[in-house]
Amino acid sequence: MAIVQTPDNAGQADARPYRSALRAQQAELTRSLITRAAHESFLKNGWSGTSVRAVAASAGVSEATVYGTFGGKAGLAIALVDSVDLEADTERAGAELAAAAGDPRGQLAAVVGFDRRLFENGGAVIRIIAAARYDNADLDAAYREGRQRGDTVRREVFSNWPAGTWRDGVDLEQALDIFAATCSMATFDALHLERGWSPDRIETWWNQVLAEQFFGVGSFEAPEDRSRSPRGRDHRR
């Protein structure tokens, strides 16, 4: 049955969209507060040292709100997996890929740059989840889904490159495998944390290695307009 709008109920009808938008904003704010509290707790206390009760107290909400929003501790970690991509600036990556359309080496640099930022800015969370996922099926599924998302993006980018792009003996599937083995959290940590390489140096080296493996060309110069963090200096210099 249709509701006839009268002067008496017109104000109520006009207020409904506002109240709905306000509730959505409040829900998003609550989600953000909980995610931030969980992020801080996971970094400080690790997976085993983080509890829903502590996260709720830090966020200023009830435990029931945390469970209702995320479904529990594993849900919090899954949300953190999803938020890690934001640390790598997905909008910037998209803009760089669009600007380099038709230029395989330019698009490769954009994809490599995204992974560099992902590991540099979100590495602490990735390490915690990667270590804890073996004891939690939900975490393991979220971790694998995140890795699969990366493969899906790279497959889409690489498959649109012009015919004749690949060097002899390399195809799309091999390229995806080579990229995964080269641009990894483990490689980043080994070079940055153990060997003292700067993130800039790692990114440039990744581009050199992958250009040689993909295109048969080894030299690479980073575009001059690429922004760098203050930490982007080689520790060995």
pLDDT of residue 43: 83
Q: Contact 94/157 with Cβ under 8 angstroms?
A: no
Mean pLDDT of successive 10-residue segments in the chain (237 residues)? 54 63 84 87 85 93 93 82 79 95 96 96 87 83 85 96 92 96 96 97 97 81 44 41
* CA–CA gap between residue 188 and residue 184 (Å, rounded): 6
How many other C-beta atoms are found inside a 10 Å radius of the C-beta of residue 222?
14
Q: Contact 198/232 with Cβ under 8 angstroms?
A: yes
Cα dihedral 150, 196, 186, 179, rounded to 10, equals: 40
Predicted TM-score (pTM) of this structure: 0.73
Structure tokens at 229: 């963090």
Which ranges of 46-89 does DSSP label H, i.e. alpha helix? 52-59, 63-70, 73-87
Residues 6+ apart with CB under 8 A from 20: none
What residue ranges define each of the domains in the chain, with the CATH number in brackets? 16-71 (1.10.10), 80-215 (1.10.357)
